[in-house]
Structure 1
Amino acid sequence: MSKFDDIRPFYDTEVNDALRKVARDPIMKAVMNFTFPDMTDEEWIQQLYKTHSIRDFQINFIYHAINMVLNKSSDGLTTSGFENLKPNTAYLFISNHRDIILDTSLLNYSLYKNGFKMTTSAIGDNLVKNPFLLTLSRVTRNFIVKRGLPSRELLESSKLMSEFIKDSIMHENRSVWMAQREGRTKDGNDATHKGVLKMIAMAKDGMTDMEYFKRLKIVPVSISYELDPTDILKMPELLARSKTEPYVKNPNEDFVTLRSGIMGQKKGIHIHVGKVLDDEIDDIVLKHPSTNKQLQALCDIIDEVIHANYRLWPTNYIAHDLLYQSNQYNTYYTADEKEAFEKRLYEGVDTSDEMAVKHFLAMYANPVTNQTALKTSQA
């Protein structure tokens, strides 16, 4: 028994048995019929039965599924920054988080295409309550983040997760993907939560936090979608928050969001991989004597790199101009693009609700605001 058994992905020795158990699940059938429309069910099932490792499953099945998603629901994926990475080196990728499944899937797709090992990735247990989805997550090298625990159990769970991250990077030489915060950014304002860094640092074993973070090789990742297929789905929670009202998810909400994110139209998608935060961490240590201020400074630097390298799309500029009733960025989009975005707004949002309109526009406009603020501060 491994101490990580409760949260870890499958070992390769467990993959074939796991796939055999879910091969005829209706969700697996739907995924495979989408991915391989020219294959009979028996053909892809036989291929599954011959699969004995996570890597084989990712390359022979998931890679093709992502290709189909990109072909059917986007204008394509572009990437930058992968020249910053070294082969056979494990990193801690800390990323902004917009889509439940695609953020980490697209990063792994890009890592594989660029000749790097794929990551092990964090996923909330609220997303894998369905037994099939739990199996699929473990056979695609996800580890489980337990949500909603009492304080004592949360502390123990955080320690275990921190040790798993350390073991993956330092002993297995396997990169780890983590979102910069718990849950997706719903308002477009990407910000790293200090609690995430505190959790990661729990396994530092005698090192200072900053020494440990240097060992983990933190790489900020920016991912941006021209259209968010779940933008309208986010509105009830954003409105509840603005009214300081509690928000309770519908029982099937996560699954609907997951499916909409995968199949909904995204237009352009871009992933930028930053450089390892090495000199930056040295500077933090020189400037900030207290651990708390060092952690906040590291959050700020991760945010700066994510904001600076976030690909801005016409939708972002249009939303910013509409939100602030200006034409400041009208050279970045066409009249047709503006008309299409306004149609999306009018069809999806009750435009008589001023707060709803502002939240929808801010979701797309905030990346422009953040990048502009960063450029101003650095001028």
Structure 2
Amino acid sequence: MSKFDHIRPFYDTEVNKAILGIVDDPMMKAIMNFTFPEMEDNEWKKQLSRTHSIRDFQINFIYPAIRMVLKKSSEGLSYSGFDKLDQHTAYLFISNHRDIILDTSLLNYTLYNNGQMMTSSAIGDNLVKKPFLMALSRLTRNFIVQRGLPARELLESSKLMSAYIQELLMHENRSVWIAQREGRTKDGNDATHKGVLKMISMARGEQSEMDYFKQLNIVPVSISYEYDPTDMLKMPELMAKSREEVYVKEKNEDFITLLNGIIGQKKRIHIHVDTALDQEIDLIVKSADSPNKQFQALCDVIDDKIIANYKLWPTNYIAHDLLNNSDQFAVEYSADEKEAFEKRLENGVDTKDDVAVKNFLAMYANPVTNQEALKVKE
């Protein structure tokens, strides 16, 4: 029995049994009927029952499902930077995080389209409490991040996850996706949490942190949605934060957000992958004289790359101008685009509540603000 058994994806030898365990689940029927609307249930069940590897499950069932999601809920996916990746190299993709399922699914969809290795991805156990979702996540090469543990157990869990990431990258030559912070960015400010990097570095042994990070081939990823399908669902937490209140999630909130993220309208989507941060890490070692400063410098580099490569859409510019009562970026959008965005705002937010309006607009405007600040910094 492996020490990773309670967090790892299924082995290929376990895949068929796991599929047979969920093939009759109503949620599987919903997914397959959505993905293959012309196919009889017994046909996709027969095909599933013959599936014996994660790769086959991803390519034959999940890939078409994501393609259908894009067709039904977006106006297309564009991407950049993938031509600079080496198909034989394992990368640690550190990404901004907007949507629970789609961020990593769309990255893998794009990697596969470009002949690249798909990732093993970190997913919080709060998202896979239902047995069906746990099985599905393990069938799509996700590994489980344990949340809400007491301090001592959290430390042990972090060490285990660090060791598993090392195992994937260095021994299995498998790329890994992890979000730059715990939980999705709600306010549009994409920032890397130092704790994520500290967790990753726990398995380094006698190596220095920066030497270890260089070995991991860290690649920052920027993903942006023209419309955030969960923007309205983020409002209660943003409002609580603005009132300095503790936000308590509703029952099934994560599951509802998950579903809305998948089926909600996103319009255009863009993913950019950068190059591995080898030179940047060398510069950090030369310029920062303590491990703590080096960690912070690496966080800053990742943030700058994600912000700089974030694709800004008309919605971002419209929100920035509305928030600042200006027309600074009016050339970036049309009157129709502005009207559609204002309608979305009116339908989802009490426009008499200035704080609510400000929070909603900031969610879309902050990527513009951050990119402008980066230009000044440079």
TM-score bin, normalised by smaller chain: over 0.9
Partner of 1:6: 6
Partner of 1:232: 232
State the Cα deviation string for residues 202-249 of structure 1 (Å, max 9, x = none).
000110000000000000000000000100000000010111111111
Distance 2:323 2:265 in 1: 23
1:215-226 paired onto structure 2 within 5 Å: 215-226=215-226
Partner of 1:260: 260
Q: Is there any run of 5+ residues in structure 1 with no aligned partner, and where?
A: none
TM-score when scaled to structure 1? Answer: 0.99
1:1-379 paired onto structure 2 within 5 Å: 1-378=1-378
Shift of 1:377: 1.3
SS at match of 2:143: strand
Shift of 1:144: 0.2
Shift of 1:177: 0.1
SS at match of 1:75: strand
Shift of 1:324: 0.4
Distance 1:87 1:123 in 2: 24
Q: 2:75 is aligned with what amino acid?
A: D
Shift of 1:83: 1.5
Shift of 1:252: 1.0
State the Cα deviation string for residues 154-177 of structure 1 (Å, max 9, x = none).
000000000000000000000000
SS at match of 1:192: coil
SS at match of 2:196: helix
Shift of 1:30: 0.1
SS at match of 1:88: coil
Q: 1:240 is aligned with what amino acid?
A: A
Q: Which shows bigger deviation, 152-161 or 367-376?
A: 367-376
Shift of 1:67: 0.4
SS at match of 2:286: helix
Shift of 1:367: 0.3
Distance 2:203 2:218 in 1: 15
Distance 1:84 1:93 in 2: 14
Q: 1:78 is aligned with what amino acid?
A: S
Q: 2:141 is aligned with what amino acid?
A: R
Distance 1:176 1:242 in 2: 34
SS at match of 2:270: strand
Shift of 1:87: 1.3
Shift of 1:88: 1.0
Q: 1:348 is aligned with what amino acid?
A: G
Shift of 1:50: 0.6
Distance 1:374 1:206 in 2: 35
Q: 1:42 is aligned with what amino acid?
A: N
State the Cα deviation string for residues 122-161 of structure 1 (Å, max 9, x = none).
0000000000000000000000000000000000000000
Distance 1:24 1:117 in 2: 30
Q: Percent identity?
A: 72
Distance 1:250 1:133 in 2: 19
Distance 2:377 2:291 in 1: 25
Shift of 1:84: 1.7
State the Cα deviation string for residues 236-265 of structure 1 (Å, max 9, x = none).
000101111111111111111000000000
SS at match of 2:94: strand
Shift of 1:376: 1.4
Runs of 4 or more off by more than 3 Å in structure 1?
A: none
Distance 1:208 1:244 in 2: 39
Q: 2:237 is aligned with what amino acid?
A: E
Q: 1:235 is aligned with what amino acid?
A: M
Shift of 1:352: 1.1
Distance 1:246 1:305 in 2: 31
Shift of 1:326: 0.3
Distance 1:353 1:196 in 2: 36
SS at match of 2:233: helix
Q: 1:80 is aligned with what amino acid?
A: S
Distance 2:356 2:213 in 1: 40
Aligned length: 378
Distance 1:244 1:16 in 2: 49
Say what the alpha-carbon RMSD is for the aligned residues. Answer: 0.4
TM-score when scaled to structure 2? Answer: 1.00
Q: 1:61 is aligned with what amino acid?
A: F
